[in-house]
Amino acid sequence: MSGQNGQSPDLLRIAMPKGRMADKAYALFAAAGISLPGDDNGRRLILPSRDGRMRYVLAKPADVPTYVEYGAADVGVCGLDTLRESRRSVYEPLLLPFGRCRLSLCTPVDRLDTPLRYESQPRVATKYPNLTMDFFRARGVNAEVIPLNGSVELGPLVGLADLIVDIVETGSTLRANGLTEIRTLLESQAVLIVNRASYRLKSPAVRTLIAALRTAITQSETTT
Ligand code: PRP
């Protein structure tokens, strides 16, 4: 018998991101006919699906690739930005039609001429230090990357950084803080990821899930 701890080898364990992507992820799963979690009191972090055949593991978005790579969850939903930053090794069988945004290099509108050269040594604040390092290294720019956990737009406003690398969705946060995009590092959207071993060991369940999601995505594309 399976318990509530998500450890049964027969159950499919799905790492879901808490926060802004959650509603759209559940809506897509529902449209695909995948059993959703039952009601809870809002604090439990592992929830059985209503049909009892799966376990939802509710994770911080940035941690979803970690749970999936280590096999603590068989599949997960996360953003491509988070996945690339994490450098985790998982399968990525399906892009999902939400969470679209871009990771951009941004500067204050009154300092558009900040040079991007080796000797300029820009200070760059970001929640994405790995992707930011990759970007500047590939261009031979000797940037100092300053990791932050949020409200990255503050960086240039308070003199902490010359530039930022951050997620842009509507662009309103940039505009409100006198910043503008100068390069796109990555176009991002949600993606379904799968643990490499689970892809083989739980192949029927994983493939059924992918097929159901793919069908729901195709149907929504043809009706919009
Ligand atoms: C994200 C991102 C930007 C903002 C972009 O922040 O880091 O700040 O959303 O969205 P927009 O282009 O539609 O304005 P989030 O809300 O996740 O909070 P955080 O800055 O504290 O990480």
How many other C-beta atoms lie within 10 A of the C-beta of residue 43? 6
Tell which atom from ligand 1 comes closest to the C-alpha of 152. Answer: 20
Ligand 1 atom having least distance to the Cα of 172? 14
Mutate to test the pocket of ligand 1, among 170, 173, 185 (most ligand atoms within 8 A of CB): 173
Q: Which residues contact 139 (CB under 8 A, 6 or more apart)?
A: 116
Give the C-alpha separation, 11 to 100, whole Å. 30
Residues 6+ apart with CB under 8 A from 212: 32, 33, 34
Which domains are seen in the chain, by residue range?
A: 4-99+189-223 (3.40.190.10), 101-187 (3.40.190.10)
Distance CA 25, CA 16 (A): 8
How confident is the model over 25-75, as pLDDT tens digits? 999 999 999 999 987 767 888 999 999 999 999 999 999 999 999 999 999
Q: Give pTM, 2 decimals.
A: 0.91
Residue 106 near residue 176 (C-beta atoms within 8 A) = no
**Ligand 1 geometric centre to CA of 196 (Å):** 31
Whose Cα sits closest to atom 7 in ligand 1?
167
Strands of 75-79's sheet in order across? 46-48, 54-59, 12-17, 75-79, 190-194, 91-95
Distance of CA 67 from the midpoint of ligand 1 (Å): 24
pLDDT tens profile 118-151: 678 999 999 999 999 999 999 999 999 999 999 9
- Measured from CB, residues less than 6 Å from any atom of ligand 1 are 150-153, 166-173
